[in-house]
Amino acid sequence: MSAVPQSRQLERLEPLSAEELLKWALAEFGNSLAIATAFQAEGMVIVDLAARNSPHVRVLTLDTGRLPEETFRMIETVRERYGVVVETVAPDTAEVEAMVALHGPNLFYREVTLRNLCCQIRKVRPLERRLRGLRAWVTGLRRDQNESRADVRKVEDVEGKLKLNPLADWTSGQVSDYIRQHDVPVHPLYAEGYRSIGCAPCTRAVQAGEDARAGRWWWEQDAAKECGIHFSPEGKAERKLDVLLSEILEAKRA
């Protein structure tokens, strides 16, 4: 198979529909491509689209150790519906133990940087390790999900690895329509008022009129509602995060 396409080739991929882009990626990368999902609506649409084009779809999910039970039920639902064995990606046990020993199990409630640290240990670093064995990966990012995702492209070359966002130009209405038309399995927490689903302690249902991401880290004020996988904090917060992370890694080695 060819190397990751260069910028001019990436531009030619941008106008493709979600199904066309997934079909191209599955043919181009085969087993070196994986869908990363927490089984939210967008991720399930992508799984459904991909499964319609290939019986050999790789699906990854991050088992952070703090997931709601309903998310584990979705793993079984995907297996039963699509015949896909979901690959769970877990954090490094020693890193989690060091973080909890230094900052406690619920450090994320105290300040944004500590929340980012928890996301780094439980989500970002485990995913980075798994992605090293892949040439491309697929996410459910959409431009209208929040301001930090407004400029998301369908195809991105991130340090020589292709990141595909097939639903980048979809609206929430299009996602809902697809789910209804194709009877796509839905995460049980949506029925309880959740609109964005992550770890159990960091996610709640939203109230009428609230933004879809309002239920994520709802105790934070004026903070970017991202875990670090799709967004990197800048400036002072990032420098402090680097210091905290280095402490964890040093404690792990001790």
**119 labelled catalytic:** no
User: Distance between CA atoms of 177 and 171, rounded to whole angstroms?
Assistant: 10
Give the separation between CA 65 and CA 88, rounded to whole angstroms. Answer: 11
**C-alpha distance from residue 140 to each of 165, 167, 197, 209, 239 (Å):** 6, 6, 13, 23, 29
CA–CA gap between residue 239 and residue 187 (Å, rounded)? 36
What is the β-pairing status of strands 161-164 and 155-158? antiparallel
Phi-psi region of 217 (alpha: psi -120 to 50; beta: other; left: phi over 0): left
Q: Which residue among 119, 199, 202, 227 is the active-site one?
A: 227
Distance between CA atoms of residues 248 and 96, nearest Å: 8
Q: What six digits make up the tokens of 128? A: 């980075």
Q: What are the catalytic residues?
A: 227
